[in-house]
Structure formats: C-alpha cells, structure tokens
Structure 1
C-alpha cells in the first residue's frame, strides 16, 4: 500500500518503494483519466465534428475501399478491421457507432449506407453484425476527400504499426449538420443537428463579411433541424444557444386531425420530437388514458408502414381535438425539451462556443486544408515539371543521349553520364533511363512539350493561390456551394414563434398599400393593384364609396411595416402602424379613425407622414418636421421630438384661435420651402430661416394672407441640390400645370410671394401645390368619389402666370378634393402598370391635348 509522507521516518527506502503523497497521486491519476475521456472518447473535434470512434470507422471503411459505388461489406468485417487496426475497444462500441450512422432517425445526414436490419424508431435492436452489411454514403466520402494530399496530420495507431488521421479534411460542416452528444468527466456536450443548406449559406455570408453578427447569421442558420422533423416551439432558447453556446430548444411532434366516413374524429401523429421512441410514446398515451389523466380518447393504435409514421388516436364524440392535443403536449413526450451545450475540442482543449465561433473554426480549418492541399499539389507539379524538363533536355540531345546509353556497360554508368554531360539531376537521369522508346516518336515528343507547358501554367496558378488569401477563400466558397448543390435539402423541422417573443412585423407581409382617408374621417388600406394608371383627361375609376356629404380627402402609398404620423387640424400628433389600419375593399368606405386612435370628435386628420423606423437614432436626429397652418404660420421641429409614441397623442404645435394646421412635411434641414394660397400666389424661402423649436411652440409667419376668405392651400419642401423637381399646381375645377422652381425667386419669409397660377371662374381657386418629377404619378380624387391616376410626364410645363391644362373631366357640380403624388421609388408603380397592361377602363375619356386648353395670360407684377 502507499503510505502518507507524514510517516516517512518510519519507512525504509530500499529502492523499490517511492514515497508519494496520496492526495497528489489521486488528483493526478484522476485528471489524466478525465482528460483521456474528454479528448479520446466523449467530445467531438470542432473541425470535423467527430469523436475518435466515428473518425476511425469512416477512415477504416475508406481504407477497405468500401465506397458508395462498390459492393456492400459485412459489418463484422468492418468492425474487426477498425477494432484491430485503430480502435482497441469492444466490438459493441464500434458496431453501435456504425449502426447510428446508418439510421435515418438518428443522423440528419446519414454517413453509412446500411443493408439489413438496423433497428427502428420503436427502439428495436439492430441485427447482429454478421447479418448486416455496410458501405459509405456519398456525403461521407466528401468528408474523406483529399485525405491523400497531405491536408491533415497523421498519427501512429495504438500499437505504432499504422497511421491514422488526427482529423478528417471534411468539406461538410459536420459538427453542426449532424450534431453530437456525449458525457465526459466533469462536462458534457449536446450539439443540435442543423440544415446543411442553411449552414452553407451562413458560412458563405461569413466569408463575404468576416465581421458578421450572430443576429445576421441567424437569418441564414435559422434553428436546429432534426432528422425526425417536428416543430420547434419558441425561439428564445434557440437564440440563447446561438449567442452563448448554451440554451434550450423545445420540440413538438406534428399532429393532424382526420374525420372518418362515420363522422368520428381522430388525431394522427405523423412526426415525433428528436430521439423519442414511438413505441414508448404509444404506451405512455395508453397509460394516460387508463389513468384518466387524458379523457376523450377511445383508442390508440400504430398504423405506421413503409409510407411513413402514423400513430392514430381515436376521439370520443364529445372530445374537443385542440384540448386533447394540448394535453398530449403537456403530459407525454410529444413535447420534449433539449439542452443546447456546445462543448467541443478546440486545439485539444474543451471549450464552449457560440454559432459564430463554431462556423469560424470550421472556416479556419477549411482554409488550412485548402492551403495544405495547394502546397501538396504544387510540390507534385514541380516534381512532374522537373522530370518533364529532363525529358525535354534529352529530346533536344536525343542522338547523344542514345549513344551515351548504348555505350554504357551498366545503368549506374549511364545515369552518371547523363548527369555529368547534360547537367541533369539524379531524378531526371533515372526518369530518362526508364523512358519507353515509344515516347521518342515525333507525336509523343510534342505531347511531352504540351504537358510541360500545361504543368507550368498549373504551377503558376497554384503559386497565385498560395499568395492570395482572397483566391483561397473563393475556392472554399465554390466548394461549399458545390456541397449545397449535392447534399443540401429543405428544412424538416418547422419553427413556431411564441407571441411574447415575436414582433408583429415578423408575421405581417411587407407590401405597398394605398391608404385613403375621407373628409369625415374614415380610413382604410387597399392593395395598390386595385388602382390603375390612366391618361390625362380620363373619367377615372371609383376610389371609394362614401356618404353623399363625404369624399376622399387623403390618398397615398405606404409600406405595411412603416409608422404613420397623423397630424390633426388642432395641432395634435398620433401614431399608428400601417398594418394596424383596417384593410378594406377599394369601393368600401373604411372605418372611422376615432375607433382606431383617441381622436376627439371635433378634430380631424390634416397631414400624414410615413416614417420607416422611429428607432433609428441617426435618422431622427438629422431630420425635421415642418408644419404650416391655413393662416400662413410655419414651424420646424426635430423629428426626435416625435419619436416616442403615446396612446393619447401629443401636442405638435400650438394653434391660434381661428387657425388650423394644414400640412406637415419631413425634411433634412437643407430644403427650400414653398407655400401657396387660394388666391393663386406662392412664396419660396430657405428652410434655415425658420429656427427649430419644441413641440409646444406656436411658430412664425411663413406667408402673408390678405383677407379672411384667402388661406394657405399647401406647402412643399424641396432639397436645394435637387434640380429634377418642378412645381405642380392644381385648381378646384381640374386645371393644372408644372412650372420650373427657379421661376419663383427666393424672398424673405413672411412676404406676399408671387403669382403661381392665373385664377379664373373657369379654373376655380388654387387647391393644391406639389413638387414632382416626370417619373412620378399623380392620384386625383374628386368629392364625388371619382379617382384618376396619371403620369406627371403627361402634364406639360408652363409659366407661372398661365392657367394650365385640364387634368380631369368633371361634372359642373363636382370639385377636386385631394391630389396625391406617388413616388417613383415605390415598386407598386411598376407592379400596377404590369397588372393593368392591355386593359381598358370602362367609361375612360379621351386624353385632351395640352395646347387645346392652355390659355396664355399676361404676367402680373410680382408682389
């Protein structure tokens, strides 16, 4: 026995007994044992995702030539070969490993093609190894490819008689594709399987952007993907696993309901959670029914066959299917949770890695493999080129070489003579002596020269690859895309997000919609395809049914994911997501805004601004909201002041008695502002002449309004650098025109402005002013509900003092209610044009030429 060193005085050392501390001895022995288990048995290598036994089985089968295109070999033979050469443990451990790699319910991507009984998902044992046969799958061969090209290190086997690879030079990200689990000493690992196509997409994204975040990687590698399918219930645990390497994934089996011919309902379980035994689940459900934990089930039977899994649950007539399903999830293994614990060996040391770390380690390994392979190919090519160079020298001195060889008494003398006379290396001289005579014919000599030229091109390319990391990464990327093409497939496991962890935007399709708001405050959103583009002068189409005294006042296009800012005539601001606006038919009137936001009955919406993302700090701190009122007051406020939505709204501007808010525009602080009034005048001044103030401020005078009957009808804000925009004005009777903005001279804020349209009884007073380009479309809505869409390019340009051209034909009693601009960047414009291509609108009038209605008017002096 080993004595404690405290009793050294009583011990006698005779050379055979060494005094040691028993605590240190036990600690050292246990650490050695634990590291042996960790490194040599239980944990996978981060590079190829294999434990030693898996690696040895695949390598042993490859050495036997047991590939996918060769006949099957007895499992016993493979087990014996692997055990005798590389894995000196029990045959059961080797055979169990082989069996698992051949089971479609155990591995997401099977590595071994088995023939015979390899067990079942019911937990049946496989047949003995003497009865089953195996060979490699194609995907496994992709993991062994380039093994003979010095791509990985080899080490001696257990008895130092053979060599085995330390790691396989796999092109497949096997660790994440097939996952791994194992219990070591003091630690364990549990890595979930994933979809190969998604992994390749993630790796390619990482090659393109090495600073990619885990959040961006999750867009490619969405979640684990199990061989048995099922549904991942909730995403937070999966996300935690991706971000930290530790998490929890809940998986549910898939159930569908059927109704028999007799009208009885039954539930069909057709997919199970990963690693759940179907027979055990069957027994568990039967036990729950017998114990009256679940009531409402009359029978449970297994109807699975070659076509697939089918566990049938007959329901009693009074049973509610959804209640039974939820009880099955609660009390049986139909819902199972798995702990994510990404512990792997990195350079021989156990580490816990997140998704990005795992993919980075694989990419680094692939880069090393490609580099070593290129170096090997370069060495081999240079060796070949060296011999061919010798051949060429010999061919250039063919007669002398033949004479030298003929006159030599032994091969050694001939070799020495070649090396001395023609400055050849020993390798070249030996190759020349072994050269077959047929290669000395003229045609063969030409082939040698061509071969030499080709090999020199190959050498140049290989050197280029070794000198350029970008080229090496491109090779890795191309090989990954080839892997995806050969072995990639669709996801088997669905993802079901929980309400608490999902933004509503994630389930709302992002698309452009037309928003309409009526004079009496009815709002709706409609598919943009319901509106069609017409020529100027047409009769238009019905844009919405309204009450006799109501008409559509606001009409514009927005994305369903954007936020709408609603400004009321009393200066209040309300927020609403576009997807929250009720969807309605094109001819429907919509819903009252008061039912959607807390809008007082004596207030109404006057201006709407579409904001893509109110949480974008840089955007909201560099943009402004410019407000104007009917009495000519203007105010500018930083967008950040309006970035915190409140249920009851906020005060955007203080409105004086007798005034109303008219317009609100989003600007970048570098615009020119134009305001127009009903009598036909407009003013232009720089935005920086209006200082920005807080939400509660009143504002300053923008334009002078002469009398009580006159009022501001609109405001536009145009970027100083934008020379493509023109000013479009529209009158109440349907006349309009475009004018170059430079015709309006810049004046001081608060002045009277200049004439913008000649107002007559024929045209009616000015009703709208817009800034447009020729790529814009115009949407005009009448108080009768008629809507027409036309291209701005069809409206001719004219001077400030003209009355313009007829834009829309109307009845004498009708008037224009609203004019909206559709921007060219909205994809909906092209979509609408494509959808209505070749169609003709019933009742569409003929377009009227511009010069038929334009009347020249002598310009009045500017105010």
Structure 2
C-alpha cells in the first residue's frame, strides 16, 4: 500500500499573524482585562464570587480555606493559574484597594506597605454582605448562563448586581491597545445620583455632579483641583490630582512635625517613606530631621519631625512636589458594552447600569409570576382534591400503582374494581366518571399530599395561601404592565442599599486646587531685606540676620562692596511679594522677591541686569513692593495708585492697574523733562497726604487729591517749588490723621522724629516749611520717612556699613532743630539710604499695647 503523502496547506504568514493576533487581542479584551459595564466585574472576579456563592460562603456562614475556594473556581470555571485566582480574591478582600470589599478575609491578606498575602492554605474567606447584593436573585432567572470551559456546568454571563459595583469600586486593567482606569466612588452619593437619574432621565451632567461630586478613594486623601474631575465625567478621560492628608503637630516641646494620616490611592506606604528619606539625604527636601512610621491598627500615621528653623508649609509643598504624597490618577472609563469596549461618560456609565437593573427586575418579576402561577395551579388542584376527598381517596386506594392513580386523577375516572357498595355510597352509578379533571402537576401534588394536610386547620391554610397568591399574581402582573412601577422598585431597592451600607465620604475635595505647583509653593513667605547697590547688585537676606543695636553704634557690615560702589536701595518685604522697578528712563519692570538670589550680609549680590532686561544706559531709581494677595486682586488694582516724584519736584499719579501686566522688556511708567529723573514711587489709595522734601531742608504737605490720575506716558504736575540747586530728596505718603512721626536724616548721620501734625497742609507746588535746621555739621537733608514707635530703622552708608535701630530710641524734636547723631560715620563716609522695617511681632505688640 502506497504511503499517504503529508497534507500541506499553504498559508499566508501575514494573514495568519493578523488573524491570530486579533483573536488573542479580543480574548484579552473581552475575557480578561476589561470589566462588564453592568456588574463592573472581569470574568475572573465574577467566577470567584459565583464559586464562593455555590460553596455557601455567605456573610453569616463559617469561613472556608482559601485553597478550597481557589480549587473550586479552578476546577469548575477558570482553568488558569491558581495564583491569578488567589490574587484576585486577595484584592477583593483588601480595604485599602477596594472602596467596598466583596470578600471577607480572615488571616494575612496583605497590607498597604506592599506586603503580599499569606499562602492560600493559611487564609480563610467568605463573601461580604455587599457581595451577596451582587448575587441577589441570581437563582430567579435574572441573568443568562453559559457553558463553562468543558461544557459540564453553567456559569453566569453577568451578575444581577444590586450594587452599582463599577461605579463604587471602580476598575483597573490593561488590555491590548487599550486600558481602563475607573475611580471608586461613595455608595451614598452614587445612589443619590442614580435616583436622580431615575427621577429625571434627561438630567444634565452638571446637575448629576451635585449628587456625585467626585471619586471617593478607600485610602482617603485630598482631591486637589476639580477641572480633571469635570473632564473625566464629561468625556470619560481626565487627570485627577490626589494629595496625602497631613497636619502640623508638636510631637515634643519646641519640635514641630508634619503628620501624614492618609496617602493617595494605590501608593505603597513603605515606598513613600523610603522616597522621602532618600530626598532628605540628597538635600532635595530640607527641614526634616527624623522620619517615623507610627501606623497601627487604629490607622496610618507617618511622623516627619522638622528642624527648629524649618517652615512647615514649605516642607509640605516640597513633599507634594517631589514625592508620591501627590499623585495623578488618570481616569479612562473603558468598559464592555454588549461585548464591545467603549469609553463612557459618567451619564452613560450610570445609564447602562440602570438599564441592566431594569432588565434584572423585569426578568425577576416574570420568574416570580411564573412560580406564583405554578403554585396557584397546584393549590387549585389541592382545593379540588379536598372538595372531593372521598372520590380522590378511593381513586388512589383502588389504583394498582401510582402511575394508574395519576392517570385516573387526571382523567377523573374511578377504578373498575371499585365495589358497587362504594359506588352507591359515593352516589356514582356503574361506569360514571368523577366530577373533576386535574393536570399532571396537580395529580402529582395530590399524590404527594401528606395526611396531616387533611385537617381543618391545614385546609384553611391552603385557602389563605391561595388567596394571597392571587393578590401576588395581580401585583406581579401590574409590575410587568407598568414601566414606571418597575423604575420605582429599582429606586426603592437603591435607597434601601444606601440606608444599609452607605458610609461617610473619605476623600476631601479641594475645589480651589491648581493641580500644578508654582515655584512660590516651595519657598517660605518669610520677611527679607532686599538691597540694591549703586552699580546694580541686588540680593535678599533674611531679616532675622540683623540684630538690634543701641543708638550711636558703629553697625554691622551689611554688604560686601566693590570699590566706588555703595547701597542705594534697601527695603523690607516678603518672599512672595511683587516688585515694581522704576528706572531713570521712566520704565517699569516686574519681578517676584523670591526670584532675587539670596545672600548673606557680606555677599556682593547679583547684577540686576541678569534678572530684568534693563537697557545698558538705564538704572533702577525706585522700587515698589506689593503683597501677593493685593497684586492679584482686580478690585485692589483699580482702587490704588502709584504716586511718583521726580528730582525736579514733579509728581504724577497713575492707577496701579496700569502696571499689573508689564512685559519682560518693561513698560513706560512716566515721561520726563530733559535732565529730570525719578526719586520715589509710592502706593496710595487716593486719599493720602503727600510730603515732599528738598535737599535744602524744606517740606511741603498737600492732599493727594490735588494730583489728578493720568496715564503712564505723562509728565505729571508741579509738586514742590525748588530754589537754586536744591533737588527733591524724598516723598512720603500718609493717611490724613495717622499718628505718625516724620523721620528726617541728614547726610552726616543726624536725624530726629517730628510729629506729623507739625507740618501744615498747603496746596501742592509751594516752597514748603522747614523740617530740619541745615548746618555744615549736619549736611544736607538726605531722606525722610514716616515712622511709628514700634518700627525698626535700617541705615546704610556709602561704604556699606549698616545699623539697625529701634525708632523708639530716636528723639522727638521740632521742625527747626538739627537732630541727634544716629550713626557714627567713618571719615569720608556718608549716608546712602534708610528704610523702615516693621516685624510682625512688633506689629502685634503695638496692637496689644
């Protein structure tokens, strides 16, 4: 016999690869990675829950070994690795992974530190009460069943899911070419939203989000910012920022600490602590001296002990910026709808669930109606038997076997062997049939009837049961005939679920969060001193570096100086403040204080030209600092002004709003006459009094309302009339009735305080009144400032020496005196600038006094 030739079928490799890969992809998508939109479960989750249900592991049943459960699921429904089944069951038991766990585990089921669960032979499990809600009514033909892998058993295609599981527990999975990541939600809020959709099917997303405002994660935390939530609910995709919850606490006297009590969802606590420790070692996070994990059965607690000089808010922002204390949850709401993957909005997600529940309730009602009708049919047969009891007994008595008895009951024919006496007693002539017929089911029920049911009481119970069944049948038929009634039932079942299982929201919503960090979030808003030298070197130094000295001291070294350079500007502000720089050319530049390099008392600083784009032949003349919250308030900008004074005695007022959006190359602030330059700029509210001082020792005081507001590109009006070679040396703006003194300081270090009320109010443009007696000993007037007793004064010389004085130490004198020596100048040195520094502690003391 000739040997058979091998059968070879030519196949295009490209087509085979496409076909095989598509089959594999669809298997992963449909049978492994994506949840069904109706019950929110993947096949393995569904099989685990159904397998436990078949084992009788309800919430009030004894626990059973996990290995027994895994074996049941593997052998009957899920022919894959035991690890996959056990890990699925473990996750459904973890309260830090599932918002509402579906498995009640006993033993080690892992931890938030990333510890794995104990082996399945050591742990035990059963269903939770909420898992029972997922399986409720499954025996009432509410869902379709399909063959298992070998066709020997049936398994549910989907669970009835009285719990809106996909919404409350979310889902996470990676398929082929797609993925899903649905966040968990609060059950009470979810039910409220579903009820609102039942009541108003066309409800808008905005109205729906009043009931279901945002996800609610099992580990709590703070949902920071709301735009991502709105995008996710509207489109099915979005980015949600979650922050750890932390607070400041004094763990021991004088040592503050940041205590983390909640961390973002899916963050490993051990890895988080390790990351923080690494960043502290690398000095990327400064201010933490010790890290302790004090978590216990009561809850999570990570203690970050801070150094004495650390700013808790800055450390907190650094933790959010550089560690998993702030995480982004990328929402991608993909689920299987009719076996096909779809990206769903929140409304679609809820609509599909409600449609599923409507189908379940409809099928359940049909099943219950069928069972009720079948039972009513049986009871009707029993009633017939009880009404013709003697005949039924004789049919059964004289039948040869049960089959004959059944047949004669159904036909109502008496046995031929019934004696004439019995027929006569029953009132039936020979050959006469009985007065009833029964169905097979009724005949079987009569044959199975116990003799105890023939008593009068039992006969009454049958009558009552029959009447109750007729009412139940009527009710069930009315449900099937009325869709609004079915929706009412779904509504009531959801509200009952909420009443039974709802709990408070765990994740706080911070609607105002930006999500992204600004640099200022990582910098403490502390008080600093900013210095600008004649040659344009700028730096900021913490204000607490300077210690107070007594009047007449020599002073500390304030800045390392180059030859023929000296300090021109020195002022106190805070790191988050905005700075407006006004230059010789009449331009304004914008800068944040924290953008200025920090330096010590003796450091040179950095050229201001590296920070703002000043022209080579231009230089800064005046600096105005404005607090962050004020500069970002439109109402504040409209109601405040920048008042400028020039060397030739001109003044000009322009609304602050005109300077709120400067460009990198600056904007025009003021127009000058030839040879003029800017001396001072001040922030006012339009109601101030203005004092202008000349180098000759005269001051004019007038109301700010004398100067009308003009645009940026204007010269202004005459403020003070100057004589000879006099120039304007300073401007002060004060409230009309302020309890202030005017500090005057001469070039040779003499100064004094004069009460504000000694300066009479005139019209602008006058020559003014004397404010300091000018002599060769005192030198010309160099500056004036408005001060209070609790202020501190900083005086800087051209050689870089500085003294910090308490204003209360400076004598009060009249306008015609020359003052007292405030600083001992070295030969050839002179005063360069003076500024007033007000500390918060001093302000508090002044208010308390």
Normalised to the residue count of structure 2, the TM-score between the two structures is 0.57
- What residue in structure 1 maps to residue 334 of structure 2? 343
Distance apart, 1:68 and its partner CA: 1.3
> What's the secondary structure of 1:280's corresponding residue?
helix
Query: Cα deviations across residues 64-107 of structure 1 (Å, max 9, x unaligned)?
Result: 11111111111111111111111101011011111111111100
Q: Select which of 490, 493, 496 maps to 1:482.
A: 496
2:41, 2:303 → 1: CA distance? 38
Distance apart, 1:307 and its partner CA: 1.4
1:213, 1:110 → 2: CA distance? 31
1:321, 1:500 → 2: CA distance? 20
- What residue in structure 1 maps to residue 290 of structure 2? 299
Counterparts of 1:160-309 in structure 2, within 5 Å, are 160-309=151-300
Q: Select which of 105, 111, 123 maps to 2:102.
A: 111
The answer on 1:448 being equivalent to 2:439 is: no
- What residue in structure 2 maps to residue 332 of structure 1? 323
Distance apart, 1:401 and its partner CA: 1.5
- What residue in structure 2 maps to residue 311 of structure 1? 302
- What residue in structure 2 maps to residue 25 of structure 1? 16
1:98, 1:495 → 2: CA distance? 31
User: Which stretches in structure 1 are left out of the alignment for 5+ residues?
Assistant: 1-12, 502-593, 600-863
The answer on 1:463 being equivalent to 2:477 is: yes
Considering only CA atoms, is the larger Rg found in Structure 1 or Structure 2?
2
The answer on 1:393 being equivalent to 2:407 is: no
Could you say if the C-alpha distance between residues 435 and 183 of structure 1 is closer, same or farther in structure 2, counting changes exceeding 3 Å?
same
2:252, 2:260 → 1: CA distance? 19
Q: Select which of 446, 450, 458 maps to 1:436.
A: 450
Distance apart, 1:596 and its partner CA: 11
> What's the secondary structure of 2:493's corresponding residue?
helix
Higher mean C-alpha deviation, range 422-431 or range 33-42: 422-431
- What residue in structure 2 maps to residue 353 of structure 1? 344
2:79, 2:222 → 1: CA distance? 41
- What residue in structure 1 maps to residue 117 of structure 2? 126
Query: Cα deviations across residues 367-398 of structure 1 (Å, max 9, x unaligned)?
Result: 00000000000110111011101111111211
> What's the secondary structure of 2:290's corresponding residue?
strand
Counterparts of 1:265-664 in structure 2, within 5 Å, are 265-421=256-412, 422-498=436-512
> What's the secondary structure of 2:58's corresponding residue?
coil
- What residue in structure 2 maps to residue 786 of structure 1? none
Higher mean C-alpha deviation, range 415-424 or range 50-59: 415-424
Q: What value does the CA root-mean-square deviation take over the aligned residues? A: 1.7
> What's the secondary structure of 1:58's corresponding residue?
helix
> What's the secondary structure of 2:139's corresponding residue?
coil
Q: Would you say the 8 A contact 2:410–2:439 is kept in 1?
A: yes
1:365, 1:326 → 2: CA distance? 45
Q: Would you say the 8 A contact 2:254–2:308 is kept in 1?
A: no
Distance apart, 1:598 and its partner CA: 7.5
Could you say if the C-alpha distance between residues 264 and 15 of structure 1 is closer, same or farther in structure 2, counting changes exceeding 3 Å?
same
Distance apart, 1:402 and its partner CA: 1.5
- What residue in structure 2 maps to residue 48 of structure 1? 39
> What's the secondary structure of 2:120's corresponding residue?
coil
> What's the secondary structure of 2:211's corresponding residue?
coil
> What's the secondary structure of 2:202's corresponding residue?
coil
Query: Cα deviations across residues 315-338 of structure 1 (Å, max 9, x unaligned)?
Result: 111110000000000000000001
Q: Select which of 143, 161, 166 maps to 1:152.
A: 143
- What residue in structure 2 maps to residue 607 of structure 1? none
> What's the secondary structure of 1:305's corresponding residue?
coil
1:427, 1:595 → 2: CA distance? 88
- What residue in structure 1 maps to residue 655 of structure 2? none
- What residue in structure 2 maps to residue 79 of structure 1? 70
Query: Cα deviations across residues 149-193 of structure 1 (Å, max 9, x unaligned)?
Result: 000001111111111100110111000111101010111000000
Distance apart, 1:494 and its partner CA: 0.4
2:322, 2:382 → 1: CA distance? 79
2:82, 2:251 → 1: CA distance? 50
Distance apart, 1:23 and its partner CA: 1.3
1:14, 1:219 → 2: CA distance? 74
Could you say if the C-alpha distance between residues 389 and 354 of structure 1 is closer, same or farther in structure 2, counting changes exceeding 3 Å?
same
Distance apart, 1:409 and its partner CA: 1.7
Q: Would you say the 8 A contact 2:185–2:214 is kept in 1?
A: yes
2:298, 2:513 → 1: CA distance? 35
Could you say if the C-alpha distance between residues 400 and 270 of structure 1 is closer, same or farther in structure 2, counting changes exceeding 3 Å?
same
> What's the secondary structure of 2:248's corresponding residue?
strand
Query: Cα deviations across residues 751-795 of structure 1 (Å, max 9, x unaligned)?
Result: xxxxxxxxxxxxxxxxxxxxxxxxxxxxxxxxxxxxxxxxxxxxx
Query: Cα deviations across residues 185-226 of structure 1 (Å, max 9, x unaligned)?
Result: 111000000111111000000000000011111001110100
Query: Cα deviations across residues 87-130 of structure 1 (Å, max 9, x unaligned)?
Result: 10101101111111111110000111111111111111111111
1:261, 1:281 → 2: CA distance? 24
1:192, 1:15 → 2: CA distance? 56
> What's the secondary structure of 1:148's corresponding residue?
helix
Query: Cα deviations across residues 11-61 of structure 1 (Å, max 9, x unaligned)?
Result: xx9672222222111111100000000000000000000001111111101
Distance apart, 1:499 and its partner CA: 6.3
Could you say if the C-alpha distance between residues 347 and 289 of structure 1 is closer, same or farther in structure 2, counting changes exceeding 3 Å?
same
Query: Cα deviations across residues 412-444 of structure 1 (Å, max 9, x unaligned)?
Result: 222121111222111111111111111112221
User: Which stretches in structure 2 are left out of the alignment for 5+ residues?
Assistant: 413-435, 516-634, 641-849
1:341, 1:230 → 2: CA distance? 20
Query: Cα deviations across residues 221-266 of structure 1 (Å, max 9, x unaligned)?
Result: 1101000000001010111000010001000000110113421111
1:143, 1:257 → 2: CA distance? 42
1:595, 1:216 → 2: CA distance? 35
2:252, 2:21 → 1: CA distance? 66
1:199, 1:237 → 2: CA distance? 19
Could you say if the C-alpha distance between residues 595 and 49 of structure 1 is closer, same or farther in structure 2, counting changes exceeding 3 Å?
closer
Q: Select which of 80, 89, 92 maps to 1:101.
A: 92
Distance apart, 1:62 and its partner CA: 0.7
Distance apart, 1:500 and its partner CA: 6.9
Query: Cα deviations across residues 647-670 of structure 1 (Å, max 9, x unaligned)?
Result: xxxxxxxxxxxxxxxxxxxxxxxx
> What's the secondary structure of 1:101's corresponding residue?
helix
Q: Would you say the 8 A contact 2:143–2:160 is kept in 1?
A: yes
Distance apart, 1:595 and its partner CA: 9.4
Query: Cα deviations across residues 822-846 of structure 1 (Å, max 9, x unaligned)?
Result: xxxxxxxxxxxxxxxxxxxxxxxxx
> What's the secondary structure of 1:218's corresponding residue?
helix
The answer on 1:64 being equivalent to 2:55 is: yes
